[in-house]
Amino acid sequence: MTNVEVSNLCIRFGSNEVIKDLNLEVHAGEFLVLLGPSGCGKSTLLHSIAGLIDVAAGSIRIGGKDMTWAEPTDRNIGMVFQSYALYPTMSVEGNLSFGLRVNGTPKSEIQRRVLRAADMLQLTPLLRRKPSQLSGGQRQRVAIGRALVREAGVFLFDEPLSNLDAKLRGELRRELKLLHKNLGSTMVYVTHDQVEAMTLATRIVVMRSGNIQQIGAPADVYERPENLFVAGFLGSPGMNFLDGKLTISAGSAIFSALNMSLDVGAYDFRGPAATGQDVILGVRPENLMLQHDGAWEAKVSLIEPMGNHHVVWLDFGGTSLSSIVSGALSVAVDQNVRFSVDVSRITLFNRTTEQRL
Amino acid sequence: MNRKKRIGPARWGIYAFLIVSALFFMMPLYIMLVTSFKPMEEIRLGNIFAWPVSFTVEPWVTAWTSACTGVACEGIRGGFWNSVWIVVPSTILPILLGALNGYALSFWKSRAADILFSILMVGAFVPAQVMMFPLVRILATLGLFSSLPGIVAIHTIFSMPVMTLLFRNYYQSIPQELFNAARIDGGGFVRIFLQLMLPLSTPIIIVAAIMQVTGVWNDYVLGLVFAGRDNLPMTVQLNNVINTTTGTRLYNVNMAATIFTSLVPLTIYFVSGRWFVRGIAAGAVKG
């Protein structure tokens, strides 16, 4: 079991500072997902842990040892790439065993590890094939296998599923989760896909322009986003936002916007909130319910059938809101409907700092 | 088939033009072949297009075994073997070095890589004649002047820009992730080159080999200056055969010797036309 400690990390490309003063600890045995939009530095961070990018300042410790300037191969890591990066001229077996052959591992040991990995990933019948004779899913399995045979302390995944089609992605996602459960190794996984992040992670690290926005368990990050960015990035469709004002008087707190007012007295404020300040109310689509006796009225602008549920888009005084309706749908486009909000699951943000209140 | 293939006047024009051009460019080859099989009496009649009446292979035998290249009269077979001895190392060495250069420039990027590459490219535009005398002095100092290693070194040096460009462009199209994967697997500079990149380079190696073999085989000036008396390549020997006049000019022997000399590049062009075009395209478009 190996942990990774990244402290005060800075990475520059020319004069461009991609990552600035970043601190992160990956606990031993956890599945840590780095999540963020493209260009947020998540892949750069992963590559620096792998030793493929030079660090400008700071240190990286893997398993307690300082690896900041160690060669990639000496870092006790295995890595899986987005483009699979299989050696085209070698067979599957050759691909799996290359690293071990380089390190001069005894033949019998190579044999044992290759067969074990192949067995784990259902690659045994494919060992003699060349990568060009494999499907996308099989190729990525080989790439995972290549990382497995190293029996490394930390596995690094750089968007490994984004080149696959939706169905295969789901399958391999489950296989990865199972693999983590069986091996119990430390895994660091980069993705921009929030579904992958939510389903796989022990902890999610949400990143934006080289900074960590929030670290937490998937449910935590989803339910209690630190700021507006995290709230908007997770969830599909995204969280609904309503601009309004907060009025606090004698122990009660009222959020008011347009022709709507909501008693948010039950909200778990982080600190004392000032009355009269501009705030943003965040409501997840599943917590915005269409009800006959709902407090507010809006017009249905669009309905998206998703098979097992519908996403109903509402026009609420010019603001677009979405609601997830499971089960039978009783509304139609252009119809006026009433809705209510589950106050226990809302989030309030300061409008200027965009931080959670 | 309902649609009739109709060949319009424009088509006819194009075909006529192509056929005429082909004939025009084939003409010298035809004359050479025909002349090389004629005895001298027939050549003296002056009908250069005429088919040989008394067919003879004597000129071919003479050209190969006993034509005079200056003082010695041993045919141009010596030149043929000299050329082979020059071409083989002058193909293998530049390809290996060019591949190594291209690999280092593409994957082991140092700060100076781009500058180095630019200098190398500028080198490609300096005419060989400018460097001739300095190189003669350098090789003389090193004791390599007029020797086989000397001429091989010269060919290797002059081919470096093109070989490097060819391989660098080829390696640029290989994903960086592949290289990264190999580094994590523990491959060093040499191992990644030999076990991963070189096996991937077969197409570009073929292209480079074709360019190098034809280029070195057709070279005249470098061979004349640097190879020395004992290693004169076939092109130089051919020139000597043709310019050695004792009595009458043996046109048939000259023609046969010329065809012998051009046989290697001709064969390569015919066998590997597709690859050759690909090589030119690889050098031109991506550069």
Size of interface A-B (CB pairs under 8 A): 58
- Say which of A71, A85, A102 has its CB closest to residue B178: A85
Does residue A58 fall inside a structural domain? yes
Residues A53 and A196 in one domain: yes
Mutate to test the interface with B, among A79, A84, A87, A140 (most CBs of B within 10 A): A87
Give the pLDDT of residue B111.
Answer: 77
Q: How many domains does chain A have?
A: 2
Give the pLDDT of residue B278.
Answer: 66
Residues A207 and A63 in one domain: yes
- The domain of A257 spans 240-350
Alpha carbon of B190: minimum distance to chain A alpha carbons (Å)? 12
Residues A258 and A212 in one domain: no
Share of chain B above pLDDT 70, in %: 93
Give the pLDDT of residue A307.
Answer: 87
Q: How many domains does chain B have?
A: 1
Give the pLDDT of residue B285.
Answer: 41
Does residue B105 fall inside a structural domain? yes
pLDDT digits (tens, 9 = 90+) for A16-37: 889 999 999 999 999 999 999 9
Give the pLDDT of residue B280.
Answer: 61
Task: Tell me whether B109 touches chain A (CB under 8 Å).
Answer: no
Q: Which of A285, A268, A284 is nearest to A325 (CA)?
A: A285
Cβ-based contacts of A162 with chain B (< 8 Å): none
* Angle between the N-to-C axes of helices B251-285 and B77-107, in degrees from 0 to 180, rounded to the nearest 10: 0
Average pLDDT, chain B: 87
Residues A268 and A136 in one domain: no
B284 pLDDT more than 60? no
Residues A223 and A268 in one domain: no
Q: What is the dihedral of CA A131, A135, A137, A143, to 10 degrees?
A: 0
Residues A184 and A303 in one domain: no
Q: How does A155-189 read in b/e, with b if 16+ C-beta sit within 10 Å?
A: bbbbbbbeebeeebbeebbebbeebbeeeebbbbb
B286 pLDDT more than 60? no
CATH number of the domain enclosing B227 = 1.10.3720.10
Does residue B109 fall inside a structural domain? yes
Does residue A40 fall inside a structural domain? yes
**The domain boundary residue, chosen from A213, A233, A253:** A233
Task: Tell me whether B184 touches chain A (CB under 8 Å).
Answer: yes
Residues A204 and A283 in one domain: no
Does residue A298 fall inside a structural domain? yes
Residues A133 and A259 in one domain: no
CATH number of the domain enclosing A67 = 3.40.50.300
Q: Is A310 helix (H, G, I), strand (E, B) or coil?
A: strand
pLDDT digits (tens, 9 = 90+) for B61-120: 999 998 887 778 888 888 999 999 999 999 999 999 999 999 999 998 777 888 888 888
Residues A143 and A255 in one domain: no
**The domain boundary residue, chosen from A175, A203, A233:** A233
- The domain of B127 spans 84-233+264-285
Does residue A187 fall inside a structural domain? yes
Confidence class for position B287, pLDDT limits 50, 70, 90: very low
Confidence class for position B156, pLDDT limits 50, 70, 90: very high
> Does the distance separating the beta carbons of A50 and B177 come in below 8 Å?
no
Does residue B78 fall inside a structural domain? no
Q: Tell me how crowded residue B15 is: count the other CB atoms within 10 A of its CB.
A: 11
Does residue A266 fall inside a structural domain? yes
Share of chain B above pLDDT 90, in %: 49
Residues A17 and A77 in one domain: yes
Does residue A128 fall inside a structural domain? yes
Residues of chain A falling short of pLDDT 50: none
Give the pLDDT of residue A318.
Answer: 86
Does residue B246 fall inside a structural domain? no
pLDDT digits (tens, 9 = 90+) for B32-64: 999 999 998 888 888 888 899 999 999 999 999
Instruction: Report the residue count for chain B.
Output: 287
Does residue A210 fall inside a structural domain? yes
Q: Where are the beta strands (DSSP E) in chain B?
A: none
Task: Tell me whether B198 touches chain A (CB under 8 Å).
Answer: no
Residues A323 and A198 in one domain: no
Does residue B55 fall inside a structural domain? no
Residues A225 and A282 in one domain: no
Does residue B124 fall inside a structural domain? yes
Q: How far apart are CA A48 and CA A39, in angstroms?
A: 15
Does residue A355 fall inside a structural domain? no
> Does the distance separating the beta carbons of B185 and A73 come in below 8 Å?
yes
**The domain boundary residue, chosen from A233, A253, A268:** A233
Does residue B279 fall inside a structural domain? yes
Does residue B218 fall inside a structural domain? yes
